[in-house]
Structure 1
Amino acid sequence: QLVALRLIAREPQILRRRLPLLRAQRDQLAAQLRREFPDWRWQTPQGGMCLWIDLGRPIAGPLTRAALRHGVRIEGGSRFGADPGTFEHRLRWPYTQPAEVADEAVRRIAAALDAGLDGADEEPGRPYWVA
């Protein structure tokens, strides 16, 4: 509680440093995603720390499993819906990682898609990046 109290007291200073960094990371991730996945859609958020991506088809579950096999852990939209299958066409992608980590994650997810989503149920290895 004492740590939280000190952080709250420093909130303006923390936000002054953190917000420009998050905006830059958001913009970098969005640019990389646009290059790799031109069919995916999202609205650039004014706040928060994630892009809520519309994949255009209900593949979030198989895609997240395939991504994990390529060393990236990311959550599909179904994790955030009350009913099974809800938001299966969505992906939640945080932009809290440094640009080089996010860029590598984008490359790995592109490789996962290129490899196909068949076999996405196989046991994954240890992830490189966790969202």
Structure 2
Amino acid sequence: MILRKKTWVLAGILIFILIGGVSWFMFNQNETQRKEQQIVKMETTTAKQIKNTFTDVTEIKFSERYGENRLTGYTETMVTVSTSYGVNAEIGVSMSPKDKINQSYVGSGEPTLRKGITGTEVRVIFSNKDEGSF
């Protein structure tokens, strides 16, 4: 009788551990997806800001490498901007989920890009290799 009770307790503990492990795995997977969605959203906002700041932009490509500035809360990466007049400029950008699309682009470096607004569609290559146009 005591042996049977110990078996049930042990089985209960194993089931509890199994359910906990599956839950933890699912939570981590969802966390990764949420982070990727947030990065794509920030890249979309940044691409629109670049389009609204420089003229004749044809392509914006985000680097796969990111850094996080824990002090400011910004995510930092490099972006390659190509124009119809043959300039390819690599500029450093700092992105935040709080940025607004209608703001002008503010980033590091001095790109040799003409100031103005790009009125045509711009091809965007996101860091996760998805593509879009705005």
Report the TM-score range of the alignment, normalised by the length of the smaller protein.
Answer: 0.3 to 0.5
Higher share in helix: 1
Instruction: Report the TM-score when normalising by structure 1.
Output: 0.36
Instruction: Report the TM-score when normalising by structure 2.
Output: 0.36
Question: Which structure has the larger Rg?
Answer: 2
